[in-house]
Amino acid sequence: MSMNISCPFCGDRPLEEFAYGEVYDIPESITDPDERNLDRAFFYNNTAGVQREAWFHSYGCRRWIYIQRDTITDRIVKHE
């Protein structure tokens, strides 16, 4: 069974229509732009619990939507 994401523009859609992107804070102590981009591209927090995520609706409206998802239960807690 697949998880559905409620797109505010297209309605309830299957997970496979979206591309995932984690939204997280990079420490202010990292000032080198190349190092900051490296952190954005390859390092994930992998938080156990609720985290804010960005999903790109690549097979639909082609817009970014933001949700808060519980990574333990895989349930969407809040749509932003």
> What contacts 24+ positions apart, CB below 8 Å, involve 30-34?
none
pTM of the entire structure? Answer: 0.70
Q: How many domains does the chain have?
A: 1
pLDDT at 61: 96
The enclosing domain of 27 has a CATH number of 3.30.2270.10
Q: Which domain holds residue 38?
A: 4-79
User: For residues 7 and 60, is the Cβ–Cβ distance under 8 A?
Assistant: yes
Task: pLDDT tens for the chain, 80 residues: list them.
Answer: 578 999 999 999 999 999 987 666 677 777 777 777 776 667 666 778 998 889 999 999 999 999 999 989 989 998 88
